Chains A and B, each alone.
Chain A
Amino acid sequence: MENKETYWSENTRIILICLAIWFVVSFGFGLLLVEPLNAISLGGYKLGFWFAQQGAIYSFLGLIFWYGHKMNQLDIKYDGESK
């Protein structure tokens, strides 16, 4: 029982970290901070524009795979299975 509780709280902690990054790269860099970031350029891209149309999507990808990886580790730690 206690095991289940800590498994769940570790899971929610990882989710919160991921969602914070999810928010920052899309709503933060792509929307709220787009104007200051547009002053910086990345090749021919304005940085804010790049986040909104490219960077956010790459970050989402990284997040989902990182989350899957962390959860696999947690599953092994609490359940002892690696499949």
Chain B
Amino acid sequence: MEELKLYTYIAVFGTFALYFAIAWWARAGSTSDFYVAGGGITPLQNGMAIGADWMSAASFISMAGLIAFLGYGGSVFLMGWTGGYVLLAMLLAPYMRKHGKFTVPEFIFDRYYSKTARIVAVACLIIASLTYIIGQMKGVGVAFSRFLEVDYGLGLGIGMFVVWVYAVLGGMKGITYTQIAQYVVMIFAYTIPAIFISFQLTGNPVPQLGLGSTLADGSGMYLLDKLDLVVTELGFKEYTTSNLGGTLNMFAYTLSLMIGTAGLPHVIMRFFTVPSVKAARQSAGYALVFIGLLYTVAPAVGAMARLNLMSTIEPSAGEYLVYDERPQWFKDWEKTGLLKFEDKNGDGKIQYTSNKTDQPVTITGAISGKEIVLLPNEMVKVDRDIMVLANPAIANLPNWVIALVAAGGLAAALSTAAGLLLAIASSISHDLMKGVLVPDLSEKNELLAGRVVMTLAILVSGYLGLHPPGFAAGTVALAFGLAASSIFPALMMGIFSKRMSGTAAISGMCAGIGITMLYVFQHKGIMFIPGTSFLGDMGPNWFLGISPNAFGVVGAIVNFGVAFAVLQVTGPCPQHIVDMVENMRAPGDAPAAHDH
């Protein structure tokens, strides 16, 4: 344990020192440095930075855990969070880079020639980004308190300070180079344990292949077949076919995550940092290479973690782990409250089944066809978020690997937080102040304003991380829903319809957000306050069985519909806007990203 702590301190503070050094080396001198890193980032660098920017604590910590328990149903996250890059690469990024401005609301302002549109875009951006940051800040606090046993609040404070140093000092330039370093830390931390575990279980060190291989225990059985058998014998749904709320719900969920991904401003902004349209298209490809590396490993991590967990608790059918002989990781996670055991039948052994009643239940094994008596479940809490963090310990990996995972989780949370903070700061200093309120702001003062706003944003998000509002868990859905139902359609219509007018686009955005928020609130509670959901959060009340998290796509369809209907009534946009759109679509070089 002492050795583990020492390694963890070295890994965590070693990486922090690296980020500081990079921040000092890449500090920003101009607004162009601050917003778009001077426009001189190469596609490969940008791809890596997008990877770190995009992959948050949710991707690093939560996703494999979700897949471990959802099985096939977890595919919505894998396809949804990668498929969005296809849309980004073909429908948005190249044209927005060609137009050549600093921020997403600025693009909306130019295209829809309306300050109202710009303010609506700023509002969507701030709500979506702030809700996202809360999750990152919580991730930082949890990682510190679990791995270094420091107070949650102190851990959060250290995280805030680290981000403040490199984001405020370096702006987009500092963030970009730090994100590249963070990507490297993160991907090593994710894949090294996966390689070890895959090799242990299957003899194949490549996790993507190991997941489809036979087990190394001499049984000759495929890993996935074994997993299907083990979980069904305990009454859980078959791993490789368990659906998530029906085909239509999975369809809508995947599509919502895809268009939500393509509409997230902090990701789109990164495409403004490269020198040309060609480089913007390439960045999207490289980004997906780096993201795909983690995302194709994640299903292996999930499945193998589930199998290891099950076989630790029940080494073979009917033979249970004795509670007093439980391994160290089990005790460590019990302390956090994320793992809980209750000895219901008093036999001192752990039974982990799907039986939530107090009485034994007899079922027929879905695969084996045997009659099985399920004892009541005694693992009353197994938090999904612990799967990635506990995985190396469950598999008995060396301490330095566990230390690396701690540094990786922190890198994932900090890199995303920095990107989001920059999106918020630029939308306030550049769009709201320079663009609307104080048009004659000098470059020097705008840079100062950007830094002050970012400092304030860090303080606000730190406060929210320390006192997470009750709705924190539900807000990620809201962030994706907002991006999918407001920002993505507005940008896409701005590029693909020459006629789309400002009035029509604003109506569409408001309608899209409106219906999405209404749906989420009516099922999850107004502002997620329990008891205020007037339709109840249950399947039968859902529209066509679509869960609130999957509703963004319906909001987007409403957005498109309303916008085109209003366009019919109010008529198309003026000629100079048509010329602008034609220029966006034309071949040729993009101007350096610039101010008005």
Contact = CB atoms under 8 A, between A and B. Distances in A.
Contacts of A18: 86, 90
A58 B72 CA distance: 18
A60 B82 contact: yes
B225 interface: yes
Nearest to B303: A53
B241 A61 contact: no
Interface size class of A (residues with CB under 8 A): 35 or more
Nearest to B80: A26
B5 interface: no
Contact of B296 (A4, A22, A30, A57): A57
B211 A22 contact: no
Contact of B72 (A22, A27, A49): A49
A60 B288 CA distance: 8
Contact of B281 (A30, A45, A67): A67
Interface residues of B, number: 49
Given A43-B213, A44-B213, A52-B72, A64 B91 contact: no
Contacts of B78: 52-53, 56-57
Contacts of B225: 44
Contacts of A71: 94, 278, 281
B84 to A, nearest CB: 9
A50 B83 CA distance: 16
Interface string A1-34: 0001001100100010011001000110011101
Contacts, number: 133
Contacts of B250: 31
B214 interface: yes
A81 B78 CA distance: 37
Given A44-B223, A45-B211, A67-B89, A38 B82 contact: no
Contacts of B510: none
A61 B588 CA distance: 25
Among B94, B241, B285, residue most surrounded by chain A Cβ atoms (within 10 Å): B285
Nearest to B295: A57
A38 B240 contact: yes
Interface of A: 4, 7-8, 11, 15, 18-19, 22, 26-27, 30-32, 34, 38, 42-46, 49-50, 52-54, 56-58, 60-61, 63-65, 67-68, 71-72, 74-75, 78-79, 81, 83
Interface of B: 67, 72, 74-75, 78-79, 82-83, 85-86, 89-91, 94, 208-209, 211-214, 222-225, 240-241, 247, 250-251, 254-255, 276, 278, 281-282, 284-285, 288-289, 292, 295-296, 299, 582, 585-589
